[in-house]
Amino acid sequence: MTERPHFHGHRQRLRERLLRDSKQLADYEVVECLLGFAVPRRDTKPLAKDLLQRFGTVRGVLQASPQELRELDGFGPGLEAFWIVLRELRARFDEAPLKERVPFNNPRVVANLAMARLGNQRTEEFWIALVDTRNRLIGWECIMRGTVDQAAVYTREVLSVALERKAKGIVMVHNHPSGDVRPSTADIDFTRHVFRAAQTLSILVLDHLIVTENDFFSFSAQGILS
């Protein structure tokens, strides 16, 4: 008879504890359970502890980039694909307001889906959220992907998408891979240029958001939109 690996009994006990009261599990045990679904034939406890030691928190582990994860021993292509699925699931969860036609009445509505989708990207991306006459989200479009610190976006590209989708208003969004949400002079100048051009087309520029993994800057909230 083939002897069962030593960790099988431990994993079974861990799952029983998870089902009994998941809140009682330590952070590394939660990560260990998660890893176990992707690599059922390995002892995932050492890797779970390594991940938390490297990235600090469960949030840090889930937001780690594929490049960072590959630096850890034992984190191979199978786990990388699993992690990409997790991140995509989170992004689509935060994009649910689009399907639910949630009204845009607070910068946080768009900021949440933006941070999930592009906050941890290593290159700059520029997106727009489109709203109808009742400020309900009707679209979420990527306009440009750029280099490490810049995406070349043109006013006509932004407004042409809004016209094509028959949007009444837009919220512009881009990320800062540096982790600093403060706008540059170029960010401010571009925003004001789009704002003025949009007025001639009866399109409202409701906001411009700069996002990172866990923070955002709202031009509207800071009074520098126009």
Third-level CATH fold of 7-92: DNA polymerase; domain 1 (1.10.150)
Decide if 7-92 and 101-218 have a common fold.
no
Closest CA to 220 of 135, 100, 132: 135
Out of 78-92, 142-156, 159-173, least confident range: 142-156
Separation between Cα atoms, residue 19 and residue 29, nearest integer Å: 13
Asked if 154 contacts 183 with a C-beta cutoff of 8 angstroms, the reply is no
pLDDT of residue 95: 74
Q: What is the mean pLDDT of residues 188-208?
A: 95
Q: What is the mean pLDDT of residues 87-114?
A: 80
pLDDT of residue 23: 85
Asked if 114 contacts 173 with a C-beta cutoff of 8 angstroms, the reply is yes
Is the dihedral angle over the CA atoms 69, 75, 76, 82 positive or is it negative? Answer: negative
pLDDT of residue 120: 79
Separation between Cα atoms, residue 207 and residue 226, nearest integer Å: 9
pLDDT of residue 196: 94
- Domain 101-218 sits in CATH 3.40.50.300: no
Long-range contacts made by residues 71-77, C-beta under 8 angstroms, separation at least 24?
Answer: 72/47, 74/42, 74/46, 74/47, 74/50, 75/47
Reported pTM: 0.68
Query: Could you tell me which residue, 91 or 56, shows the higher pLDDT?
Result: 56
Out of 2-16, 71-85, 167-181, least confident range: 2-16
pLDDT tens digits for 32-84?
998 988 888 788 899 999 999 999 988 888 878 778 888 888 888 888 888 88
pLDDT tens digits for 117-152?
888 788 899 999 999 999 888 889 999 988 666 667
Residue ranges per domain, the chain?
Answer: 7-92, 101-218
Share of the chain above pLDDT 70, in %: 93
pLDDT at residue 193 is higher than 90: yes
Across the strands, what pairs with 92? Answer: none
